[in-house]
Protein backbone atom coordinates (compact mmCIF):
# COMPACT_ATOMS: atom_id res chain seq x y z
CA UNK A 1 0.00 0.00 0.00
CA UNK A 2 1.57 3.29 -1.05
CA UNK A 3 -0.97 5.58 0.58
CA UNK A 4 -0.70 7.63 3.76
CA UNK A 5 -0.40 5.45 6.83
CA UNK A 6 -1.02 6.38 10.43
CA UNK A 7 -0.14 4.58 13.59
CA UNK A 8 -1.74 3.63 15.89
CA UNK A 9 -5.31 3.31 14.60
CA UNK A 10 -6.70 3.65 18.10
CA UNK A 11 -5.28 5.01 21.33
CA UNK A 12 -6.91 4.99 24.74
CA UNK A 13 -5.16 6.95 27.43
CA UNK A 14 -5.79 8.41 30.84
CA UNK A 15 -6.08 12.12 31.38
CA UNK A 16 -2.70 13.68 32.02
CA UNK A 17 -0.71 11.15 30.00
CA UNK A 18 1.33 12.03 26.93
CA UNK A 19 0.58 10.42 23.57
CA UNK A 20 2.41 10.39 20.26
CA UNK A 21 1.04 9.56 16.84
CA UNK A 22 2.96 8.82 13.68
CA UNK A 23 2.17 9.58 10.06
CA UNK A 24 3.98 8.23 7.01
CA UNK A 25 2.99 10.27 3.94
CA UNK A 26 3.23 9.25 0.32
CA UNK A 27 6.96 9.26 -0.30
CA UNK A 28 7.23 11.95 -2.98
CA UNK A 29 4.84 14.36 -1.24
CA UNK A 30 6.55 17.39 0.27
CA UNK A 31 3.55 18.73 2.16
CA UNK A 32 2.15 17.06 5.25
CA UNK A 33 -0.87 18.18 7.22
CA UNK A 34 -2.38 17.29 10.57
CA UNK A 35 -6.10 17.70 11.17
CA UNK A 36 -8.40 16.92 14.08
CA UNK A 37 -11.97 15.75 13.57
CA UNK A 38 -14.68 15.37 16.17
CA UNK A 39 -18.05 13.72 15.76
CA UNK A 40 -20.38 15.65 13.50
CA UNK A 41 -17.70 18.06 12.35
CA UNK A 42 -15.38 18.36 9.42
CA UNK A 43 -11.61 18.21 9.78
CA UNK A 44 -10.04 21.13 11.64
CA UNK A 45 -6.57 22.24 10.56
CA UNK A 46 -3.83 21.83 13.17
CA UNK A 47 -0.50 22.31 11.41
CA UNK A 48 1.41 21.64 8.22
CA UNK A 49 4.93 21.01 7.00
CA UNK A 50 6.68 21.65 3.75
CA UNK A 51 9.51 19.15 3.79
CA UNK A 52 10.92 19.38 7.33
CA UNK A 53 9.80 22.97 7.96
CA UNK A 54 6.68 23.55 10.02
CA UNK A 55 5.18 26.47 8.14
CA UNK A 56 1.91 27.06 9.93
CA UNK A 57 0.21 26.17 13.15
CA UNK A 58 -3.42 26.84 14.00
CA UNK A 59 -3.89 29.66 16.48
CA UNK A 60 -6.38 27.41 18.22
CA UNK A 61 -3.71 24.82 18.89
CA UNK A 62 -2.74 24.52 22.53
CA UNK A 63 0.96 24.55 23.38
CA UNK A 64 0.45 21.00 24.68
CA UNK A 65 0.50 19.95 21.03
CA UNK A 66 3.73 19.65 19.12
CA UNK A 67 4.56 18.17 15.76
CA UNK A 68 7.78 17.30 14.01
CA UNK A 69 8.89 16.09 10.63
CA UNK A 70 12.61 15.67 11.23
CA UNK A 71 13.82 14.48 7.86
CA UNK A 72 10.98 15.65 5.71
CA UNK A 73 9.50 12.18 5.58
CA UNK A 74 7.37 10.82 8.45
CA UNK A 75 5.85 13.10 11.04
CA UNK A 76 4.88 12.76 14.69
CA UNK A 77 2.22 14.60 16.62
CA UNK A 78 2.59 14.65 20.39
CA UNK A 79 -0.03 15.72 22.88
CA UNK A 80 1.24 16.34 26.38
CA UNK A 81 -0.91 16.18 29.52
CA UNK A 82 -3.94 14.96 27.60
CA UNK A 83 -7.39 16.26 28.50
CA UNK A 84 -10.79 14.74 27.80
CA UNK A 85 -11.40 17.46 25.23
CA UNK A 86 -8.52 16.08 23.18
CA UNK A 87 -10.59 13.00 22.35
CA UNK A 88 -10.96 13.07 18.58
CA UNK A 89 -9.84 11.51 15.33
CA UNK A 90 -6.42 12.82 14.32
CA UNK A 91 -5.96 12.80 10.58
CA UNK A 92 -2.81 13.14 8.56
CA UNK A 93 -2.77 14.12 4.89
CA UNK A 94 -0.07 14.73 2.33
CA UNK A 95 0.15 16.46 -1.02
CA UNK A 96 2.65 17.31 -3.72
CA UNK A 97 2.18 21.03 -3.21
CA UNK A 98 -0.26 23.77 -2.36
CA UNK A 99 -3.40 23.37 -4.38
CA UNK A 100 -2.80 19.72 -5.05
CA UNK A 101 -5.30 17.24 -3.75
CA UNK A 102 -4.86 15.90 -0.27
CA UNK A 103 -4.34 12.21 0.32
CA UNK A 104 -5.58 11.23 3.76
CA UNK A 105 -4.63 8.45 6.09
CA UNK A 106 -7.21 6.47 8.04
CA UNK A 107 -6.58 8.47 11.18
CA UNK A 108 -5.79 7.78 14.82
CA UNK A 109 -8.81 7.71 17.11
CA UNK A 110 -7.82 9.09 20.51
CA UNK A 111 -9.96 8.48 23.58
CA UNK A 112 -8.93 10.24 26.78
CA UNK A 113 -10.56 8.75 29.88
Partner 1 sequence: AQSVSQHNHHVILSEAASLELGCNYSYGGTVNLFWYVQYPGQHLQLLLKYFSGDPLVKGIKGFEAEFIKSKFSFNLRKPSVQWSDTAEYFCAVRAQHYQLIWGAGTKLIIKP
Between 41 and 111, CB nearer to partner 1:
41
Cβ-proximal residues to 21 (8 Å cutoff; 6+ apart), any chain: 6, 7, 8, 11, 76, 77, 78, 90, 92, 108, 110
Between 82 and 105, CB nearer to partner 1:
105
Between 22 and 80, CB nearer to partner 1:
22
**At closest approach, how far in Å is the CB of 98 from partner 1?**
9
Cβ-proximal residues to 1 (8 Å cutoff; 6+ apart), any chain: none
**At closest approach, how far in Å is the CB of 89 from partner 1?**
11
**At closest approach, how far in Å is the CB of 8 from partner 1?**
15
Amino acid sequence: DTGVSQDPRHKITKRGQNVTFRCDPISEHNRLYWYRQTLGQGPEFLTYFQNEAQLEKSRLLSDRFSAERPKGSFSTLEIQRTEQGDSAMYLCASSLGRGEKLFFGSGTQLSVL
